Amino acid sequence: MFGSYTLMDLEQNKVVETQLVQSNEVRSSCHMEKEWLVRAVQSMEENNVAISQLITDRHLQVAKWVRENMPGTTHYIDVWHVAKGLKKKLVALSKEKECENIGGWIKSITNHLYWVPSSTPEGEDDNVKWEKWTSVYHHVQNIHVGHGDHYQQCEHGALDPNDRQKRWLRPGTRVVEKLEGIIHSRQMKKDIRMLSPQLQTSSLEAYHSTINHFAPKMNKFSYKGMQSRLILAALHFNENSKRTQATTKANQLRYKIAFPKQKKGDYTVKKVKTQNTYGYVDTLLEEVTSRVQFGEVPPLLSS
């Protein structure tokens, strides 16, 4: 069993480091992610590359290791991972007795979570983020002022009751009490202050799809075979990561409608990108030809 770990420059949208670890190299599978990160960071340090900001998921071992071993690095948590866990809790709550009305607010609450870090300037007091986040607990009860000392009222204007599509939740009801436990949980208080303000790891998820193309999970590969396929996936992704949007013959931008599984029947509009290029293949062929010509054996092909 293998596991791969990737470091990506999210501003440039480029893979900069990839690590492959076998499960028998660590004590258990839950230790694999931290081991991947340790090796990736060590590789970056050996190449004199400093990491000023790091965005990861909510893995507790990773957070502890970064805190103890990377004091000069600002550690952020990707909003999508927090939103995913939040949505699961809200969906579960909506299925409980007397809590059905929260179902109409799930999308709004998760969208609010994304807004909190993106609307808060870097370096701002953590209390601002927290009060922005907890303001949604008041908002769903039609309370729009008095959220806290740092964030006192909602930023939206006057609300037209004729435009209402969701029912306000009534204070003191069971659903409001349950929602308070989710919004004000200790885990959320830890996560909110660490949410990434701008950059997210959606590009990394796209890269994972590229890996699945070069190394399908249904097939088994040797360690060197898997390592080679990871490198090919990185080369392919980096060459095509900044493709522009495709246009029609009339020079109009092209879009398509997709139905992601996680949206459960709902759709999303996506940009159609230009065709992939494969210039890295020519570069690899030239390198292999050169090495064979001069009697050199590529490291990955040596026994």
| Cα torsion 37, 40, 43, 48: sign | negative
From the centroid of its chain, how far is CA 250?
36
Radius of gyration in angstroms for the set of CA atoms belonging to the chain, rounded to a whole number:
24
- With H, G, I as helix, E, B as strand and everything else as coil, classify residue 48: coil
pLDDT value of residue 29:
67
In which element (H, E) is residue 140 found? none
Our CA dihedral for 280, 281, 287, 288, rounded to 10 degrees, sits at 150
CA–CA–CA angle 161, 164, 168 (5° rounding): 90
Task: Return the percent helix, strand and coil in the chain, to nearest 5.
Answer: 50, 15, 35
What are the distances in angstroms from CA 77 to CA 89, 174, 178, 204, 288? Answer: 19, 31, 25, 14, 41
Q: Compute the half-sphere exposure of residue 303: CA atoms within 13 Å on the CB side of its CA.
A: 0
pLDDT value of residue 265:
74
pLDDT value of residue 294:
81
pLDDT value of residue 130:
95
Q: For residue 153, report the phi and psi dihedrals to the nearest 5 degrees.
A: -150, 160
pLDDT tens digits for the chain (303 residues)? Answer: 678 889 999 999 999 999 888 777 777 667 778 888 899 999 999 999 999 999 998 888 999 999 999 999 999 999 999 999 999 999 999 999 999 999 999 999 999 999 999 999 887 888 999 999 999 999 999 999 999 899 999 999 888 887 878 899 999 999 999 999 999 999 999 999 999 988 888 888 889 999 999 999 889 899 899 999 999 999 999 999 999 999 999 999 999 998 877 777 778 898 999 999 999 999 999 988 888 888 776 555 444
In the chain, the domains with their CATH numbers are 2-77+199-242+273-293 (3.30.420), 79-192 (no CATH)
pLDDT value of residue 217:
87
In which element (H, E) is residue 211 found? helix 202-214
Residue with tokens 């499960």: 23
Query: CB neighbours (10 Å) of residue 217?
Result: 7
pLDDT value of residue 2:
77
pTM of the model: 0.83
